[in-house]
Structure 1
């Protein structure tokens, strides 16, 4: 009788919990990530809790990995689509030259499409490089950087018949931020170019101010009717995402500008986003100003 009781106790306290743990381990290996509900009050229960915690972390990592894989598949599909169109045109016009149909413009079209593909490949390489190369953070005088970039765009805006309203609310001394200056300049360049391409009227508004110890930048442009309907604006940060046609074929770009902006700002741990209104959209970001007691040494990340 005692042996029977001991056998039942052994089965209840040891064998069944271990069987449950085995089932849980099997489910983890099959990527179903179930949990073991064991309440023995001893080391077996402690082991079950650790396995459950591991299962939760593995499930989270699996979901993240699946999301990254889906993004990669979509990215490759987008690249293939973007390159297929100019390749098809190059082939068509090259065939036209062979068939004696060239009216004198075919070689120029082939050259233009080849240049477009070269630019896209260069931007893709830059996009990839920005995600893995180290960033050199050093003190940057933000007003000087921004006003210098705006000056370089003055002629481009005039050629497009655009005007920029710059609302400079920074303190007289401007202020310093810790940043990779070349990459931060690229953020300004891409945001200005994006506004120039897609604005639906002739005015772009730029605002720079000190806000609660941070440098806050905003750029606002009007949007066309197709962008006023309900859309998921978060998609604008994705590579090759196009909401509506560019107002200027000259500045049509590669569809990677805002993806580059997002990559750089995330590397700077900046707060950033997009704020759509009824007939306009605002892109913004914030970076903390350096405290005047901060050590201005160069930091690499």
Structure 2
């Protein structure tokens, strides 16, 4: 009979697939424990299986050899003493004597009497041992006469076979008496040996279970030891990512984890030095811009005064300026104004970069503030306002004016009139949208519109503006706790949307300057008086 043990190859393969699918979703610690457990279980099961198989063969072979040896001896001594054609009583008596041997097995003797009839003699044990209990293949082999040669000196041999009936293992064997006589069969129960082997299997199974538990505990201890440096490394990496560049790992030992800790410390030290150098250079650059802008203001004041006198002389009737040099004078006047705006914008940018920009908050009516901005720059005929009065917001009026001047001036310069300014309010914010009816913003320009000094076209390196207008507008929105977005309208034209909180009296920290700010067009440099063109 073919039996398949529980947990055979198919079940074991399926179990391993299930374990692998679950391990992918678990922590590294659990993976280590499971892997250790699987290795220990595989080793324990393999060792137990080999030990069980070797002991099983040893136990069965020992019992089997003892029975077959005793049976062969009984066949030779007792069955061989029978006449060539014995009677049934003689067979029965001899079978009983043979069954009383030290091995206690059942005996069945088969012969032909003097009349040629087949007679049987069976021992009384094992509920009547019959010829039908002997496998056909075994009977065929026992009764087959072999050719006698120098290598085979006997025409008949002893054959045996193990069978299982009603979950009980048996040993069946048979042979014939050489020189004429009965054929004998034995039937020996191997149940005692099977019980011994069952006890052995239970013992090995318990030992495997204990080995699995022990390996799991050992794996847990080893995982804790191995993963502790990994945990420290992860914590240090998070602290480094949070900006704590002085984070270092304690290094002990000479293994791979110690090498990894040394590498991390070296990388952290190099990063700290690089960031410190960059911060120092950035600070020096900001200080240079601030100092330069401050130093330029004194000579610019004098130059501006002179250019104003020259401009008045140009506009006055009967001026004394030679018409041949009038274009040069006007160029000097316009460039002086542009330089003055640039210096003012640079100083404003340095205040944002240094974090010294502050709000002077007041309660303002948004519609009145927009109207004042438009009226001060004589844009009433070019701008349409859609805003209800009564929408009050706590903000810095001067900075809101700077934002509006840049957004509206930029729309008039590059989009053309009419420019529409609309205001709508939400539960906790006010949205001011400035839309023009121009060609819109190229898609490749949108990501850079708030960059400082960004040039939308390389063929136009100069423009009337400073290139800082929209950047300053965005910074002013950030310091209020708001933001500005830029996009193209489905109906044509560009739309800049300013979102401000209703109360900027306690704004969040100004947002960092992102060189890849929200999309839109490159901004101009106007901060108040005039709306200059974009860079």
* Residues 112-123 of structure 1 mapped to structure 2, 5 A cutoff: 112-123=334-345
Q: Runs of 5+ in structure 2 lacking a partner?
A: 1-221, 230-251, 290-322, 510-535
Distance 1:288 1:229, change over 3 A: closer
With the length of structure 2 as denominator, give the TM-score of the two structures: 0.35
The 1:18–1:135 alpha-carbon spacing in structure 2 relative to 1, beyond 3 Å, is same
Q: Which structure 1 residue ranges, 5 or more long, are not aligned? A: 1-8, 32-57, 77-101, 291-295
Higher helix share: 1
Corresponding position: 1:146 with 2:386? no
Cα separation, 2, equivalents of 1:269 and 1:138: 15
CA contact (8 A) 1:177 1:289 kept: yes
2:318 is aligned to none
Deviations 1:145-172 (A, max 9, x none): 222223334x3454xxxx322222x4x5
SS in 2 for 1:207: strand
**Cα pair distance change 1:157/1:234, threshold 3 Å:** farther
RMSD of aligned alpha carbons:
3.9
Partner of 1:237: 450
Quick check: 1:234–1:274 contact (8 Å CA) kept in 2? no
Q: Equivalents in 2 of 1:133, 1:273: separation in Å?
A: 22
Q: How does 1:260-299 map to 2 (within 5 A)?
A: 260-277=472-489, 279-290=492-503
- Displacement after TM superposition at 1:182 (Å): 1.2
Deviation at 1:234, TM superposition (A): 2.8
Aligned runs of 1:59-138 on 2, under 5 Å? 103-105=324-326, 106-131=328-353, 132-138=356-362
Provide the C-alpha distance between the structure 2 equivalents of 1:148 and 1:18, rounded to a whole number of angstroms.
68
**1:212 counterpart SS class:** coil
Q: 1:111 to 1:149 in 2, by over 3 A?
A: closer
Written as runs of structure 1 = structure 2, the 5 A alignment for 1:30-41 is: 30-31=270-271
CA distance in 2, matches of 1:241, 1:29: 35
> What is the Cα deviation at residue 268 of structure 1?
0.9
Distance 1:222 1:235 in 2: 21
- Please state if 1:189 is matched with 2:405: yes
- The match for 1:206 is 421
Q: Does 1:180 align with 2:396?
A: yes
- Distance (Å, rounded) in 2 between the aligned partners of 1:22 and 1:130: 39
How far the C-alpha of 1:228 sits from its partner, in A, is: 5.1
Q: CA deviation at 1:286?
A: 1.5
Q: Which has the higher contact order (CA 8 A, sep 6+)?
A: 1
Secondary structure, in 3 states, of the residue corresponding to 1:243? coil
What is the aligned partner in structure 1 of residue 469 from structure 2? 257
Instruction: Work out whether residues 441 and 494 of structure 2, in 8 Å CA contact, stay in contact via their aligned partners in 1.
Output: no
1:20 maps onto 2:260 in alignment: yes
- Residue 43 of structure 1 corresponds to none
User: Shift of residue 107 of structure 1?
Assistant: 4.0
Asked whether the equivalents of residues 138 and 299 of structure 1 are also in contact (C-alpha less than 8 Å), the reply is no
Relative to 1, partners in 2 of residues 1:20 and 1:252: Cα closer, same or farther, differing over 3 Å? closer
In the TM superposition, residue 258 of structure 1 has moved relative to its aligned partner by 0.5
Deviation at 1:270, TM superposition (A): 0.2
Secondary structure in structure 2 of the residue aligned to 1:215: strand
> In structure 2, how many angstroms separate the alpha carbons of the residues matched to 1:217 and 1:244?
28
Computing the radius of gyration over CA atoms, which structure comes out larger, 1 or 2? 2
- Kindly state the Cα deviation for residue 216 of structure 1 after the two structures are TM-superposed: 0.8
Distance in structure 2 (CA, Å) of the matches to 1:216 and 1:114: 36
More deviation, 258-267/128-137: 128-137
State the distance in 2 between where 1:272 and 1:263 align.
Answer: 9
Is 1:221 aligned to 2:436, yes or no? yes
Q: Distance in 1 between matches of 2:453 and 2:266?
A: 41
User: Aligned pairs, how many?
Assistant: 212
SS at match of 1:136: coil
Given that 2:402 and 2:473 are in contact with CA atoms closer than 8 Å, whether structure 1 keeps it comes out as: yes
Q: Comparing 110-119 with 256-265, which one deviates more in the overlay?
A: 110-119
CA distance in 1 between counterparts of 2:331 and 2:466 reads: 18
Is the 2:482–2:500 Cα contact (8 Å) retained in structure 1?
A: yes
- C-alpha contact 1:138 1:178 (8 A) present in aligned 2: yes
Report the equivalent of 2:28.
none
